[in-house]
A = this chain, B = another copy of it.
Amino acid sequence: MEEAAALLKQKGLKVTPQRLAILNLLRNTKEHPTAETIYKKLASDFPTMSLATVYKTLEILKNMGLIQELNVGESSFRYDANTNSHPHVVCISCGKVEDLDESLLKDVLEEVSQYTDYKLVDQKLYFYGYCPICR
């Protein structure tokens, strides 16, 4: 059985074609698509699938820790199958969102810990600029 199906079963979730398709789509792209984008991409394979199902599925996958939700500052969320809270760079010209290495966090987190008395548990770092193609 494919990995995606195994992951769903592991979490006690019913394995449906829609869920497999959504999870696989996210696991095989670097594009950080929105719910709408996912819906459109799967429309040809699942003509009857509704946007509500996409949203419900994303909600479940998120709660199960199989995907994460990104808020890059747009009007809608993006989704990422990489569940580590890693930093992202956003191209303000073409809208592309790329992953950055988690190792970049180490130094900042230490600095922030020193400056505040907070017990830090998570972070969201977004960098904005022009990508190599657009600059």
A residues with a Cβ closer than 8 A to B are 71, 73, 87, 89, 91-92, 98, 100-101, 104, 107-109, 111-112, 115-132, 135
Contact = CB atoms under 8 A, between A and B. Distances in A.
A85 to B, nearest CB: 9
Given A87-B112, A111-B107, A112-B89, A122 B118 contact: no
The quantity of this chain's copies bound in the complex is 2
A132 B107 contact: no
Nearest to A130: B119
Nearest to A70: B73
A98 B116 CA distance: 10
Query: Top 6 nearest A-B pairs by Cβ distance?
Result: A120-B129, A117-B132, A118-B129, A122-B128, A119-B130, A123-B127
